[in-house]
Structure formats: C-alpha cells, structure tokens
C-alpha cells in the first residue's frame, strides 16, 4: 500500500512553486530550442525525450519526487497496447524514459497547447475529438493500427481522463475496441502518481511514484468481460 506522504509543510509548498516556475521556464526554453528537431518524427521524439529528462530532473531534485518501474518484463518487444491508469501528467512524461517508441492516445484539445502541441503531433500522437462521435472511434482505430504496424507501443487510458488516486470512473469502450481490432498484447499498467502529483494541483508531495506492468490480458474476451477483467486487475494492485 502507498504510504501517506509527508504533511504539506511551508518548505514543501515552496519547493512545489519553485518546481512550477522551473518547469515553465524549461518548457519554454526547450520548445523553442528544439524547433529544428521537428523535421521528422524520429527527431521530434528525441526532442520530447530531452524535454522529459529535464522534467524528471526537476521532479527529483526540486520536488523530491522519484519513480520506480516494476515488472517491465511483462511488456513484450514490438507492438503492444498499454492500458494505463491515469492520475496525473507525470505518467505521460515518464513513459518516454521507459518505452522505446511510445504513442499516446489523447484528447484533441491538447493540440491547442502552444508549441508543445506541434511536438506531440509531429511525434505521432493519436488524438480523439470526442465531439466527432463514431468517426472519432474509427479514426482512432486506424491510427492505432498504423502505429502498431510500425512497431510502436500505444498507451491508452481506459477511463478517458485523469482520475484522482483512490477514485474510479467507468471504463470507456474504446480500449475494448482496440483490443478486439488490433490483436496485439494488451498490458495493464497500475500506478499511484495522483497520490503525490495530483490531477491539476500545484502542490507536489515528496515520495516515490510506482509504475507496475501487469501480465497481458487473455485473448478473445468479449467486450464486457475484457473491461471488467481489466478493471479488476488494475484496481486490485496495492502500490
């Protein structure tokens, strides 16, 4: 079970604000400095990784947040779908230091972020326009299949949004559709980032964020069985 983090002392608040200012400064510097790397998808991924490495350094040295990955051997080489819990922005950074060719399925609004949206688009992220209905689902499935055919690892968040640590929301049918359509291993990933990082809060509590990769989901399950088994596996993990 995740230990309770330290009480939010004035020093922790100071470190949290300092992290925020340094994060924003580093993001501006990196996004402008790395513009020449937008020339290709491969170089754009290099730019994103360089930016992420800076964030990890700030998280560790300023906010006092470290992270650990468990059971990475459950992730096979080549194309795979990672069905991950989503509690904070931290996991969208950290996966770039764990997986070789990660692709995130994200909401379309993120493309509006100045400069960073360019990098995410160029790096091959898959965006979902929730207002597009069935067309959005078909687009997601086509683009996910193309990314997997290229040997990349696709990360999808079954709940469709960030959910605070200890809470849950219904799983969206998209992850089950990808499981049936793409026919590649689906690896559940549990985490506890929201306990320290939070969904949108400035406060960053010092501690260790854990990412745990679980064994692959069984093949040939129907949609309802797949979703209930995925939820059962993710929610029984004690981090």
pLDDT at 110: 67
Residue 38 has pLDDT above 50, yes or no: yes
pLDDT single digits (tens) 40-71: 988 999 999 999 999 999 999 999 999 999 99
pLDDT at 130: 67
**Strand order across the 102-107 sheet:** 65-70, 207-213, 186-191, 80-84, 153-156, 102-107, 126-128
Residue 5 has pLDDT above 60, yes or no: no
**pLDDT tier for residue 1 given thresholds of 50, 70 and 90:** very low
Got the DSSP string for the chain?
-PPPPPP--HHHHHHHHHHHHHHHHHHHHHHHHTGGGGGSHHHHHHHHHHHHHHHHHHHHHTS-EEEEEE-GGGS-SSSEEEEE---STHHHHHGGGT-SSEEEEEEGGGGGSTTHHHHHHHTT-EEE-GGGTHHHHHHHHHHHHHHHHTT-EEEE-TTSS---TT---PPPHHHHHHHHHH-S-EEEEEE-GGGTT-SS-S----EEEEEEEPPPPPSS--HHHHHHHHHHHHHT---
pLDDT single digits (tens) 162-185: 888 778 888 988 899 999 999 999
Give the residue extent of every domain in the chain: 66-235
**pLDDT tier for residue 123 given thresholds of 50, 70 and 90:** confident
Q: How far apart are CA 239 and CA 193, in angstroms?
A: 10
Specify the pTM: 0.89
CB 171 within 8 A of CB 230: yes
* pLDDT above 70 as % of the chain: 93
Domain 66-235, what architecture? Answer: 3-Layer(aba) Sandwich (3.40)
């Amino acid at each position: 079970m995740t230990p309770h983090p330290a009480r939010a002392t004035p020093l922790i608040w100071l470190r949290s604000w300092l992290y925020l200012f340094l994060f924003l400064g580093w993001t501006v510097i990196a996004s402008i400095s790395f513009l020449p790397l937008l020339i290709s998808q491969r170089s754009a991924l290099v730019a994103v990784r360089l930016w992420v490495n800076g964030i990890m350094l700030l998280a560790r040295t300023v906010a006092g947040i470290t992270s650990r990955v468990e059971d990475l051997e459950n992730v096979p080489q080549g194309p795979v779908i990672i069905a991950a819990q989503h509690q904070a922005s931290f996991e969208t950074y950290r996966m770039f230091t764990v997986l070789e060719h990660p692709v995130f399925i994200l909401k379309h609004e993120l493309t509006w972020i100045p400069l960073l949206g360019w990098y995410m688009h160029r790096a091959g992220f898959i965006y979902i326009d929730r207002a597009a209905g069935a067309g959005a689902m078909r687009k997601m499935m086509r683009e996910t299949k193309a990314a997997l055919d290229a040997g990349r690892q696709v990360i999808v968040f079954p709940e469709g949004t960030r959910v605070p640590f200890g809470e849950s929301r219904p799983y969206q049918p998209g992850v089950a559709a990808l499981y049936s359509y793409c026919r590649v291993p689906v690896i559940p990933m549990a985490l506890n980032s929201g306990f320290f990082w939070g969904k949108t809060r400035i406060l960053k509590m010092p501690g260790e964020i854990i990412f745990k990769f679980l064994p692959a989901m069984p093949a040939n399950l129907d949609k309802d069985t797949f979703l209930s088994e995925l939820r059962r596996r993710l929610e029984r993990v004690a981090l």
